[in-house]
Amino acid sequence: MSAHMTDEQVGARAQELLAEESAQPLAWWWLSFADPEKPEGSQFLGACIVQARGFFGATLVAHALKCNPGGQCRGMGPISLDAPIQPGWADRLLTKDECEEFNRVHEKL
């Protein structure tokens, strides 16, 4: 959202996005966090896998679960709820090593 929006405009836009996403099915979302201001090689802050109806909702879920370390966020989804995501991988911040292991195990997602 633009830095030139008022708090009221930001709130109204957030409500619009959530209303649009509410029609979508619940799915998994992969969120990755980075800080481009950090030195090369230390910009990655972690990732998480959460259930939501859209990207914006997924960012709110990640924040509520305290698995959003800040920085810039990118998302991948929706991923079917039938995807074989093992217990323990979702709803928490994953380290770089855990992300690499997840990718190795779940290459087909």
Mean pLDDT of all residues in the chain?
91
Evaluate whether 79 touches 109 at the Cβ level (below 8 Å).
Answer: yes
Assess whether pLDDT exceeds 90 at residue 10: no
Instruction: Dump pLDDT digits (tens) for 86-103.
Output: 889 999 999 999 999 888
87 or 21, higher pLDDT = 21
Assess whether pLDDT exceeds 60 at residue 2: no
Reported pTM:
0.84
* CA geometry: angle 79, 26, 56, nearest 5 deg: 85
45 or 83, higher pLDDT = 45
Domain ranges for the chain, please list them: 25-105
Assess whether pLDDT exceeds 60 at residue 20: yes
Evaluate whether 70 touches 36 at the Cβ level (below 8 Å).
Answer: no
Gap between the Cα atoms of 21 and 27, Å rounded: 11
Gap between the Cα atoms of 106 and 30, Å rounded: 12
